[in-house]
Structure 1
Amino acid sequence: MRAIVWQPDGKLEEVADWPAPAPADDEVLVRVRAAGICSTDLHMVSGRLDFAKPPWVLGHEIAGTVERVGTRVSGWQAGDRVVVDPVVGCGRCRSCQSGRKYLCPAGGELGTTIGSGGYGAYVAAKPGNLYRLPEALTFEEGAMMEPLNCTLGAIDRARNVAGARVAVFGAGPAGQLFAQLARVYGAASVTLFDKREEPLALGLRLGADEAVDIRQGSPSRYGAASVFDVAVEASGSVEAVRSCLELVAPGGTIVLYGLNGAEAPSIPSDRIVAKDLGVVTCISAPLLWDRGIRLAESGRINVGAIVTDRVPFGAGAAFLNELAGGKRSVIKAILTEKEDGER
């Protein structure tokens, strides 16, 4: 199959004859129609995150169509439009049986730690990892269901979002989703922090009450008094973690979402204890996929507006190399299959 392969020299290259996944009798072969480019992928390429070694086919944000079903699979047929949950578990351990397969010691994530990911023409998945993509949503929007699932899982764990003053640090794809989800969960106000004009403007269009350009001054200019009930770190920035701790009110909640790859601790635990803060995280929410898809289908969460760049797979390698090399900046990019089916 054709695939965009992360090579040992650190570059991404399109390969025409990369081995296609061979699904087992109890698996489904999915033809990838859209794959999201996640900052995790770029951080792996740059060496900031050490999840897998090249040569490797990245991509864990996947939507497509069923190409073939195994002999022991029922309920799916060729042509079905699907979203792929990339998290794989054994199904037998305590984590899997408690609904937390992302903690399975024998598991992993397609495109990140195990298996061939969405930068290839096909992926193999268990039927339980597939969700029907409504006709109202495009494949590009379907690929956004994975980041929506993770951010939904995080906000769902935060306490007392209803009526809360919410701060979101980072106006990238995750931050845009968090800002919208905070509104869905009943936040009284949402303030978005970033240092880029375009994402901040997008956040305002999508419902944030205030957008703060941190280039114009430190977030601490809000004053020494803590002003937010919930503070979300969605940028992977150590400085943003500190800002969350500074600006969250006593008894409030901090949502830690972004990864930064730094080995040095970035959380002063004394401040968390002294302010009696709740701290929540989320890397996957296996039980919330249907809820996220319904929120997108209903229009309560606008995932399509977050996608600023739609890149044909054939141009994907060059585009990814530019992103990884810092030569291009986007809010959210999706690799897409052309209408004629060519990649």
Structure 2
Amino acid sequence: MRAIQYLGVNQVEHTEVGSPTITPGHVLLRVAAAGICQTDIHIRAASEQMIPTGVVLGHEIAGHVVERADGVDTPSIGDLVVVHPVWSCGRCRQCIAGRENACLNVGGRMYPAATPGISINGGLAEFVTVPASALVPAAGLDPVFAAVLPDAGLVPYHSINAVKDTLRPGSTAVVIGMGGLGQFAVELLRALTSVRIIALDVKEAALAAVRHKVDYTFVSGSSNVSEQVMEAAGGYGADFVLDLVGSSATLQLAGAVVAPYGAIRVPGLSDGVFKFETSQLSTSLPWGASITRPYSGTYQDLHDLVALAQTGQININLVRYNFDEALRAFDDLEAGKINGRAVVVMD
């Protein structure tokens, strides 16, 4: 079958690979669509090997069930499903508590559980086998939109859901980075809360895409952006800052605008460094503020997100590529040409 495969440092190519064989507890999906994100770009661009050679990429997957292993009764053949990207054990104390994204048995202290397209074969192929336990039904959704929910949607949903008690009417949320995840974050904050939303990005085009959906937009690289955000937030600061970039500059900005007892969540992976100070005279955070590095989201998060998507309340810009154009999607995303999320649609 056709696939997009990692073949070593700086080598991601169209290839032909053997069709996957179904194993106990798994189902076989015919892939309908698969998203491409900055993680895929980082994997290809890295000067050192980040994932095993030969892995089929693609960690955002929507597909139809075509075969089930013995003993797997659901979902039904033909059903459209999306794939939760954290393949946890389901038995450890974290999994039992509903924190599959912190699985103790499959992952580790410094690395996550098995992830399709990262540690095992993913969805940039005609077929993929996945654990039945990782599937979430997605009936009624456009597969192209459904494909990006397990990452571009799930990451901001998990962060927002974790601080939902903070996001009361009258509070302020700041979202840094208006790519695919940032656009989802804006949609989710609008659908789930009544907060004031401030969107930040270095690109005016990215801000233009969400300007009609938020209360304020500011260019995050400007010299007075923290003052602009503080004024827009009423002078007290933001109750919630979602940093989807994670650079040293955005981390410093997050600390400069978060309110006392506010929450900073940083899914962004741009090699940033945050200086944590406890001096009485100089501090990186106000009293009570927290900063957390969340990973992906829980299985329940993805179920809830898909249910929300099925109501039609959320949407983002999608740029579609057919399978033969998949490597161009990598190039366009790396060049900053995509305003939203890139999705490869299987023919």
TM-score by length of 1: 0.88
Letter in 1 for 2:125: G
Aligned to 2:287: 275
Q: Which residue of 202, 219, 225 maps to 1:219?
A: 225
1:243 aligns to what? 253
Amino acid at match of 1:196: K
Residue 141 of structure 1: aligned partner: 145
Residue number among 306, 316, 323 corresponding to 2:317 in the alignment: 306
Read off the aligned partner of 1:268 and give its amino acid letter. F
Structure-2 separation of matches of 1:181 and 1:24: 36
* CA apart distance, 1:111: 3.0
CA displacement, residues 126-184 of structure 1 (integer Å, 9 cap, x when unaligned): 2221111121x100111121122221111111241112111111111111122222223
1:180 match: 187
Q: What does residue 208 of structure 1 align with?
A: 214
Aligned to 1:294: 307
The equivalences for 1:77-96 within 5 A come to: 77-96=76-95
Q: Contact between 2:31 and 2:64, CA under 8 Å: does it hold in 1?
A: yes
The corresponding residue for 2:110 is: none
Alpha-carbon distance in structure 2 between the residues aligned to 1:101 and 1:185: 23
CA distance in structure 1 between the aligned counterparts of 2:313 and 2:284, rounded to whole angstroms: 33
Distance 1:49 1:169 in 2: 28
The size of the alignment, in residue pairs, is 329
Aligned to 1:341: none
Corresponding residue SS for 2:78: coil
Residue 209 of structure 1 deviates from its aligned partner by: 1.3
* Cα distance in 2, alignment partners of residues 94 and 321 from structure 1: 41
Structure 1: runs of 5 or more not aligned: 339-343
Aligned partner of residue 303 in structure 2, secondary structure:
helix
What is the CA-CA distance between 1:101 and the residue it aligns to?
2.2
Counterpart-to-counterpart distance in 2, 1:235 and 1:79:
38
DSSP 3-state at the match of 2:120? coil
Once the two structures are TM-superposed, the CA of residue 98 in structure 1 deviates from its matched residue by: 2.1
* Distance in 2 (alpha carbons) for counterparts of 1:227 and 1:48: 39
- Give unmatched runs, 5+ long, in structure 2: 108-112
Question: What is the TM-score when the length of structure 2 is the normalising length?
Answer: 0.87
Q: Percent identity?
A: 26
Residue 177 of structure 2 corresponds to which residue in structure 1?
Answer: 170
Cα 1:235–1:65 shift into 2, 3 Å? same
- SS of 1:31 mapped into structure 2: strand
Aligned CA distance change for structure 1 residues 274 and 86 (closer, same or farther; 3 Å): closer
Q: Report the Cα offset of residue 237 of structure 1.
A: 2.1
Moved more, 7-16 or 30-39: 7-16
Q: Contact between 2:21 and 2:129, CA under 8 Å: does it hold in 1?
A: yes
Cα 1:152–1:329 shift into 2, 3 Å: closer
Of 311, 318, 341, the residue aligned with 1:332 is: 341
Q: Which moved more, 1:179-188 or 1:158-167?
A: 179-188
Question: Which residue of the partner structure matches residue 3 of structure 2?
Answer: 3
SS in 2 for 1:253: strand
CA contact (8 A) 2:106 2:114 kept: no
Q: How far is 1:50 from its partner?
A: 6.5
Q: Residue 87 of structure 1: SS of its match in structure 2?
A: coil
- Read off the aligned partner of 1:236 and give its amino acid letter: G
Question: Partners of 1:112 and 1:48 in 2: how far apart?
Answer: 19
- Which region of structure 1 is more displaced relative to structure 2, 212-221 or 38-47? 212-221
Tell me the equivalent position of 2:161.
Answer: 156
Q: What amino acid is the match of 2:144?
A: E
